[in-house]
Amino acid sequence: MADKTQLARQFIEAIPHARELGMVLTEIGDGMAEITMAYDEKLIGDPETGVIHGGAVSAVMDTCCGAAVMSHPSAPGGTATIDLRIDYMRAATPGQTIVTRATCHHITRNVAFVRAVAMDDDSDRPVATASGAFTVEKGF
């Protein structure tokens, strides 16, 4: 188990785009992952308010869901997104770190089903939720 978690961690930390966005893997294991992304001006989608772009939230959600799949005890290797739906509940508060948590709640030989939530400092009111289907790959 520790090996799988270690592999998933190394894989996530080697992703050029994840580094570029300042993503940090804070928790991983047993089909669960948590990734944070600090506020950065380059992520702004609305210059009038300083709110980060929905696309940046999608990028962390996607990475976090993938990490959750790879850390699942039944996952043999890597994964790729088949589909991902994101619901945006509210604008993320400018200046605050985005925290995403994903759970791989079911996995078959071919498909992994994942749910995720994104929050800022106010963890009672989610910024966005996601639900997606991912492939189950034999290797990386």
Partner 1 sequence: MNRSRPEPVQVVKQRRDAALAALVEAVPYIRFLGITFDRRGDELTAILNFDEKLIGNPFLPAIHGGVTAAFLEVTSVVTLNWAHLWPKIESGELDPNELTAGKLPRQPKTIDFTVDYLRSGLPRDAYARATVNRAGRRYASVHVEAWQDHKDRLFAQATGHFLIPQDPVKKD
Span of 42-50, 68-76, 107-115, 119-127 interacting with partner 1 by CB under 8 A: 42-50
According to CB under 8 A, which one of 36, 81, 93, 97 is a site residue for partner 1? Answer: 81
> Do 75 and 62 meet the contact criterion of CB atoms below 8 Å apart?
no
Q: Distance (Å, rounded) from C-alpha 36 to C-alpha 119?
A: 9
Tell me how far, at minimum, the Cβ of 55 lies from partner 1, in Å.
3
According to CB under 8 A, which one of 36, 88, 94, 111 is a site residue for partner 1? Answer: 88
Q: Distance (Å, rounded) from C-alpha 21 to C-alpha 108?
A: 31
Which residues of the shown chain bind partner 1 in the complex (CB under 8 A)? 14-18, 20, 41-48, 52-56, 58-63, 66, 78, 80-88, 91, 140
